[in-house]
């Protein structure tokens, strides 16, 4: 599956150019034109890299990055900005940016820096491997706990196992039989309706709107896909 990049840039011309270059290299690109939308996307979906302009409307890039890091989001981030002062670079790096590229820039350099960040990403993410965050939900695998908006969410052991399996296989369509085998085990005797019931319970506890799920999606005729 193509690596996903979120580009948050308010200059439509530059956004189009960078998006086209990234897509031509095989990346899947999502864009946002202001900081609030960028924060919403970065908090609610899985991305392999964030590219954040600093001078964004509604919420600047520094604030977006600060909010994401405070929420536990460890997605690698590159600051893309017209500011070249050393103090701005230091601030971005202290907030958790992985690189800083000043406009105007060469697209070849941009691609090289992106490749370098993505190569390092597994090592950088290792300290947070026991925690996964999507939207306002925080899953701590080591402690087997889940919180939503900092409030504890009570899950049964099976619900937690199902959630963990969905997260570990995010963006992958999982059939009901796959889930039965992997979560309940080959020797168990539940039917596919059991999966549907447990998916429904997870949605009730974790989705903002159970009628329009954002994270645990139904793929009709095939199964379920987690996109948090």
Q: Under DSSP, is residue 101 helix (H, G, I), strand (E, B) or coil?
A: strand
Angle ∠(126,32,131) on CA atoms, nearest 5:
20
Closest CA to 42 of 58, 19, 61, 55: 61
In this prediction, residue 128 carries a pLDDT of 45
Q: Under DSSP, is residue 30 helix (H, G, I), strand (E, B) or coil?
A: strand
Class (C level, CATH) for 131-226: mainly alpha
For each successive 10 residues of the chain (228 residues), what is the average pLDDT?
A: 85 92 92 92 85 90 85 81 68 77 85 84 50 89 86 89 89 87 68 87 94 92 89
In this prediction, residue 74 carries a pLDDT of 75
In this prediction, residue 127 carries a pLDDT of 40
Which two tokens mark 185? Answer: 């085990």
Tell me the helix, strand and coil percentages in the chain, rounded to 5. Answer: 45, 20, 35
In this prediction, residue 126 carries a pLDDT of 41
In this prediction, residue 67 carries a pLDDT of 85
In this prediction, residue 122 carries a pLDDT of 53
CATH 1.10.10.10 range(s) for the chain read 131-226
For 174-204, letters b (16+ CB in 10 Å) and e give: bebebbbeebbeeeeeeeeebbeebbeebbe
In this prediction, residue 5 carries a pLDDT of 92
**CATH number of the structural domain 4-128:** 3.40.50.2300
CATH 3.40.50.2300 range(s) for the chain read 4-128
In this prediction, residue 123 carries a pLDDT of 43
Indicate the helix (H) or strand (E) that contains 102. Answer: strand 99-102
For 126-145, letters b (16+ CB in 10 Å) and e give: eeeeebbbbbebbbebeeee
């Amino acid at each position: 599956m193509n690596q996903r990049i979120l580009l948050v840039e308010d200059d439509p011309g530059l956004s189009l150019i960078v998006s086209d270059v990234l897509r031509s290299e095989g990346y899947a690109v999502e864009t946002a034109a202001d900081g609030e939308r960028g924060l919403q996307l970065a908090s609610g979906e899985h991305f392999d890299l964030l590219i954040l302009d600093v001078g964004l409307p509604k919420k600047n890039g520094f604030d977006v990055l600060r909010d994401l890091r405070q929420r536990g989001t460890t997605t690698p981030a590159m600051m893309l900005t017209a500011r070249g002062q050393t103090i701005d670079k230091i601030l971005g790096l202290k907030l958790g940016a992985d690189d800083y590229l000043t406009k105007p820039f060469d697209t070849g350099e941009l691609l090289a820096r992106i490749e370098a960040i993505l190569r390092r990403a597994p090592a950088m993410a290792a300290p947070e491997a026991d925690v996964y965050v999507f939207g306002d939900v925080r899953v701590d695998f080591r402690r087997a706990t889940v919180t939503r908006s900092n409030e504890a969410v009570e899950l049964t052991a099976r619900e937690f196992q199902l959630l963990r399996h969905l997260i570990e296989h995010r963006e992958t369509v999982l059939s009901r039989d796959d889930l039965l085998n992997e979560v309940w085990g080959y020797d168990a005797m539940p039917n596919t309706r059991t999966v549907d019931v447990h998916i429904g319970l997870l949605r009730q506890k974790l989705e903002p709107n159970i009628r329009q799920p954002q994270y645990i999606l139904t793929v009709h005729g095939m199964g379920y896909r987690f996109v948090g």
